Structure 1
Amino acid sequence: MDSEAQHPRPAVDGGMADIGRRVRRLREERGISLSALARGAGVGKATLSGLENGIRNPTLETLWAITTELGVPLAMAFHTPAPEGSDTTSGGSRPPVVHGTAVEGTLLQVFEDAEVTYELYRLVIRAGTPQVSPAHHEGVTEHVTVFAGTLSAGPAGAPLRAGPGEHISWRSDVPHTYAALGDQDVQAGLLIRYPRR
Structure 2
Amino acid sequence: MEPTLRRLLDDIGPRLHRIRQDRGLTLEELATSTGISVSTLSRLEAGKRRPTLDLLLPLAGTYRMALEQMIGAPLTGDPRIHLTPHHRQTRTRLDSVVIPLTTYPGRLQVFKQILSPTTEQPTLVTHPGHAFFYVLAGTVRLLVADEQRLLKPGETADFDAGLPHWFGPADSSPAEVLHLFGPHGDRFNPRP
- Which TM-score tier does this pair reach, normalised by the shorter chain? 0.3 to 0.5
Tell me the TM-score normalised to structure 2 length.
0.43
Question: Rg: which structure is higher?
Answer: 2
